[in-house]
Amino acid sequence: MSLRETNDPLPMTELIGTVVAVQANFYQVQLEVQTISPPETMLLCTRRSLLKKMGQQVMVGDQVVVVEPDWLGKRGAIAQVFPRKTELSRPPIANANQILLVFAIAEPQLEATALSRFLVKAESTGLEVCLGLNKCDLVSTDELLQWRDRLLNWGYQAIFMSVSQGLEYTINSDHQILQKSLFQTENYFEEKTLLHQLQNKTTVISGPSGVGKSSLINQLIPSINLRVGSVSGKLGRGRHTTRHVELFQLPTGGLLADTPGFNQPELECEPQELVNYFPEAKHRFQQGSCQFSDCLHRDEPNCIVRGDWERYPIYLDFLDAAIAYQEALQQQRDVETNVKSKMKSGGKQQLEPKLASKKYRRSSRRFQHQTLQDLCEDFNEEE
Ligand code: GDP
Ligand code: ZN
């Protein structure tokens, strides 16, 4: 549902905009140009005290109603925040609709499991996922074509590019590779090009270190000047260590977050849900369904998912990790409740070893070797 389709239609005079930056108690709002274009499109706003009283937070990406515009001073006040369609925590951003996952095809070498870990994490956000493979200048045509076919089998039509050369590689029906300019705005209306993918969407770029994310953001938003090759882009710009994000308008329409998103994926989804984050597995559900509604697609009889697809072993591996993660969480809860319930009268404490929840116990190989702390280190490392 678009925001305009809410029950009470908004009067035409209302100023609506998107929060593109937040600093202390000030919000930079980019106004939409509607039937009447406002004299200024960027206003520095405060939050109406009623919103404060209601505890209504305002995030970057929020759609808001602005009142009391002071066009000369370029000021205004936020009077209303529309319900969020999506909300990401890292970076904190509302209403993003796309993750552009960037990997390098070489240096560092592209590897199916690492890539899948990020893809799964990206899919689990529920946002649209677009995959960009950078550094294509470093590989042969054959290698590029191999990856293209492989990824198509996974369910992804990747964008192949070289940010440093400003090129994008498209493959025609004769398996010939055509080179196009990556950043020339004339290309944006051509489907499957990067600029087309970014058009009219709010995009967050994610991916591991060293793949060219900062280089790409720099090229797309030349005014921001992220330091390339730095361990943490934002620190390199002399900002505070707190996560700070700003949205920038792209020349072809659409907004881009200037801070890369997660760069350490955490496999913390419910084991039951994991299969939905593999497009090729989801595709198999269109052919039928598993006998058991709670099938985890391991060795259950009459399973539609189990089979001869390339990433099935990766699915099984991630399933183990997801189960181990959930069990570790459960065990932690059990330990906490146990200590309480075993407190005897007279202050004597009796602790009993408690087994992990039975739900997934059967074949969680990993759990025996990893403590909760190890798992948290595996999955929660940030930058
Ligand atoms: P980030 O860590 O993902 O933000 O990556 P950076 O943008 O900092 O880039 C990491 C390194 O890769 C830098 O040395 C870049 O110059 C280099 N790099 C970026 N894009 C390309 C590319 O298209 N081709 C090649 N060969 N190197 C690139
Ligand atoms: Zn199944």
Q: In terms of Cα–Cα distance, which of 284, 105, 90 is closest to 204?
A: 90
Q: Which ligand is nearest to the CA of 219?
A: 1
As a whole number of angstroms, the distance between CA 82 and CA 86 comes to: 12
The pLDDT value given to residue 61? 97
pLDDT above 70 (res 325):
yes
In this structure, the chain runs to a length of 383
First to last CA, the chain: 35
Beta-carbon contacts of residue 303 (< 8 Å; ≥ 6 apart): 290, 291, 295, 297
Residue with the nearest Cα to atom 12 of ligand 1? 212
Report CA(351)–ligand 1 centroid distance (Å).
54
DSSP 6-39: SSSPPPTT-EEEEEEEEETTEEEEEEP--SS--S
Q: What mean pLDDT is predicted for residues 198-210?
A: 93
Average pLDDT over residues 295-301: 97
Average pLDDT of the chain, as a whole number: 83
State the average pLDDT over residues 146-152.
Answer: 96
- pLDDT above 70 for 282: yes
- In the prediction, which pLDDT does 260 show? 83
More confident residue, 96 or 188: 96
Q: Which helix (H) or strand (E) holds 374?
A: helix 372-380
| Ligand whose nearest atom lies closest to the CA of 165 | 1
Say what the pLDDT of residue 259 is: 83
Token pair for 277 = 């984050």
Distance 319 CA to ligand 2 centre (A): 13
Q: pTM for the full model? A: 0.81
Please tell me if the CB atom of residue 215 comes closer than 6 angstroms to any atom of ligand 1: yes
Confidence band, pLDDT 50/70/90 cuts, at residue 378: very low
Closest among 160, 220, 164, 170 to 190, alpha carbons compared = 170
pLDDT at 262 over 90: no
Q: Measuring CA to CA, which residue among 198, 204, 62 is closest to residue 122?
A: 204
What residues form DSSP beta bridges with 15?
66
**Higher model confidence: residue 39 or residue 12?**
39
Interval 53-87: pLDDT, tens: 999 999 999 999 999 999 999 999 999 999 999 99
Looking at residue 238, its pLDDT comes to 39
Alpha-carbon gap, residue 288 to 303, rounded angstroms: 9
Cα 300 to ligand 2 centre (Å): 7
pLDDT at 9 over 80: no
Tokens matching residue 212 = 């060219």
* pLDDT tier, 364 (very low <50, low <70, confident <90, very high otherwise): very low
The CATH code belonging to domain 3-83 is 2.40.50.140
Q: What is the mean pLDDT of residues 297-309?
A: 96
Q: pLDDT-derived band of residue 268, with 50, 70 and 90 as boundaries?
A: confident
Over residues 111-118, the mean pLDDT reads 96
**Which range is least confidently modeled, 7-11, 73-77, 143-147, 276-280?**
7-11
Lowest mean pLDDT of 54-68, 193-207, 332-346, name the range. 332-346
**Which residues on neighbouring strands pair with residue 98, listed in sequence order?**
128, 203
Is 382 or 76 the better-scoring residue by pLDDT?
76
Give yes or no for residue 13 having a pLDDT over 80: no
18 lines ligand 1 (CB under 6 A): no
d(CA 50, CA 48): 5
- Give the pLDDT of residue 332: 87
- Amino acid at the residue 33: V
**Bond into 91 cis (ω within 30):** yes
pLDDT over 90 percentage in the chain: 60
Give the residue whose CA is nearest to atom 18 of ligand 1. Answer: 212
- Asked if 159 and 132 touch (Cβ cutoff 8 Å), the reply is yes
What pLDDT was estimated at residue 352? 56
Give the side-chain half-sphere CA count within 13 A for 287: 10
Please state which of the four CATH numbers 3.20.20.150, 1.10.443.10, 3.40.50.300, 3.20.20.70 is assigned to the domain occupying 93-258: 3.40.50.300
- At residue 355, the pLDDT reads 52
Q: So what's the pLDDT on residue 289?
A: 95
Q: Pick the more confident residue, 136 or 347.
A: 136
Q: How confident is the model at residue 375 (pLDDT cuts 50, 70, 90)?
A: very low
The per-residue pLDDT for 20 is 95
Q: Select, from the ranges 20-34, 71-85, 213-227, the one with the highest average predicted confidence (pLDDT).
A: 71-85
Pull the structure tokens for residue 250. Answer: 């792209």
CA distance 233 to 226: 6
Tens digits of per-residue pLDDT, 171-193? 888 888 899 999 887 666 677 78
Least confident segment among 45-59, 223-237, 327-341: 223-237
pLDDT, position 236: 40
**Ligand 2 centroid – CA 309 distance (Å):** 14
Phi, psi of 215 (to 5 degrees): -60, -40
Q: What is the pLDDT of residue 204?
A: 94
Query: Ligand 1 pocket test: which of 164, 179, 231 has the largest number of ligand atoms within 8 Å of its C-beta?
Result: 164
**Gap between the Cα atoms of 98 and 378, Å rounded:** 26
Instruction: Count Cβ neighbours within 10 Å for each residue of 302-313 and write b for 16 or more, e otherwise.
Output: ebbbbeebebbe
- Which ligand number lies closest to the CA of residue 102? 1
Pocket test for ligand 1, best of 215, 256, 263 (most atoms within 8 A of CB): 215
DSSP codes of every residue in 169-184: EEE-TTS-EEEEESS-
For residue 177 and ligand 1, the question of a CB distance below 6 A is answered with no
Q: What residue has token string 């796309």?
A: 98
Instruction: Name the strands in the sheet holding 128-134, side by side, starting at the edge strand that comes first in the sequence.
Output: 177-181, 167-171, 159-162, 128-134, 98-104, 202-206, 255-257, 247-249
